[in-house]
Amino acid sequence: MIRVAVVEDDSAERARLCSCLRWLEESEGYSFSVTEFLTGTAFIGNYSNDYDLVFMDIEMPGMNGMETARVLRKMDPTVLLIFVTNMTQYAIAGYEVDALDYILKPVNRYSFAIKMRRAVSRVPKRAEEYIPVKCDGEIRQLEISAIRYLDIDGHYVVYHTADGDIEEYGTLKEAYGKLNRSYFVFVNRSCLVNLYHVTSVSKTEAKIGEKKLDISRPQRKAFLAAMSDFMGGRR
């Protein structure tokens, strides 16, 4: 769950941003918890340090977006900040408050998606990011970031981690639904990789360490596009 604050006084623009977030949940499997604020004053007055990402309108009555961002940075120097504005010249000022990016109004969902992939890739991984895996009659909590790739061995899903392999009875489709993270991508129908662990890619192979995984022809275009987007957001 990615926790998002939307600070925007214009109801139409606020609705448009929230609609784009819902579209991304449906199209790319993200999960967002969204809190809306109509003014910078209300946002700062109710701020708690549990947001992952803040969308900040720059032109607001009373405390404008830049003023709000300066106060925010004193309270929380690490939360990701994206400005929403009508004019590109305001984007330059964002550097002084360490803004990750800016979005021009009216928000276009496709450019929004590109920027959000970059933002999501920078959301710090939280300690509670585990999934339950049933192995040897026990349920283990497996840290998602430790999973390098998954494949199938008969009726079992094999979770390959740096600390060894863990097998769970079930299907890869079930495991994919349980992970529900955009950075897990199929390289072929029998193998799902964590893009954070991919060390190199060609048209036919993805490497995780010394392990070479075949990229199937049906999955090639989608996988290479996902890898390109992911690398663009990791810089």
If asked whether residues 29 and 109 sit together in one domain, one would say yes
Evaluate if residue 235 carries a pLDDT over 70.
Answer: no
- Tell me: do 73 and 49 sit in the same domain: yes
Confidence of residue 90 (pLDDT cuts 50, 70, 90): low
Domain shared by 111 and 182, yes or no: no
Question: Which of 73, 91, 121 is where one domain is finished?
Answer: 121
Same domain, 143 and 195: yes
* Least confident segment among 139-148, 169-178, 188-197: 139-148
Residue 188, domain CATH: 2.40.50.1020
CATH number for the domain harbouring residue 86 = 3.40.50.2300
| The domain boundary residue, chosen from 57, 90, 121 | 121
The predicted-structure confidence for 37-71, as pLDDT tens digits, reads as follows 999 999 999 887 778 999 999 999 999 999 999 99
Q: Which of 96, 121, 146 is the last residue of a domain?
A: 121
Residue 203 belongs to domain spanning: 130-234
Q: What is the mean pLDDT of residues 132-146?
A: 88
What percentage of the chain carries pLDDT values higher than 70?
93
For residue 159, pLDDT over 90 is answered with yes
Percent of the chain with pLDDT over 90: 56
Identify whether residues 162 and 82 lie together within a single domain.
Answer: no
Indicate the average pLDDT of the chain.
Answer: 88
Give residue for tokens 């495991």: 175
Same domain, 95 and 14: yes
**What is the predicted pLDDT for the residue at 85?**
87
At residue 72, the pLDDT reads 94
What confidence score (pLDDT) does residue 70 get? 93
Same domain, 77 and 144: no
Per-residue pLDDT for 151 more than 50?
Answer: yes
One domain for residues 78 and 175: no
Say yes or no: 104 and 148 in one domain.
no
Based on the fold, state whether residues 42 and 93 are members of the same structural domain.
yes
Do residues 59 and 164 share a domain?
Answer: no
Reported as a single tens digit per residue, the pLDDT across 117-135 is 989 888 875 545 788 999 9
Q: Is 0.75 surpassed by the pTM of this model?
A: no
Q: What's the chain look like in SS3?
A: CEEEEEECCCHHHHHHHHHHHHHHHHHHCCCEEEEEECCHHHHHHCCCCCCCEEEEECCCCCCCHHHHHHHHHHHCCCCEEEEEECCCHHHHHHHHHCCCEEEECCCCHHHHHHHHHHHHHCCCCCCCCEEEEEECCEEEEEEHHHEEEEEEECCEEEEEECCEEEEEECCHHHHHHHHCCCCEEEEECCEEEEHHHCCEECCCEEEECCEEEECCHHHHHHHHHHHHHHHHHHC
Predicted pLDDT of residue 127: 47
Number of domains into which the chain is organized: 2
Instruction: Please indicate, yes or no, whether residues 96 and 143 belong to a single structural domain of this protein.
Output: no
The answer, yes or no, to whether residue 200 has pLDDT greater than 70, is: yes
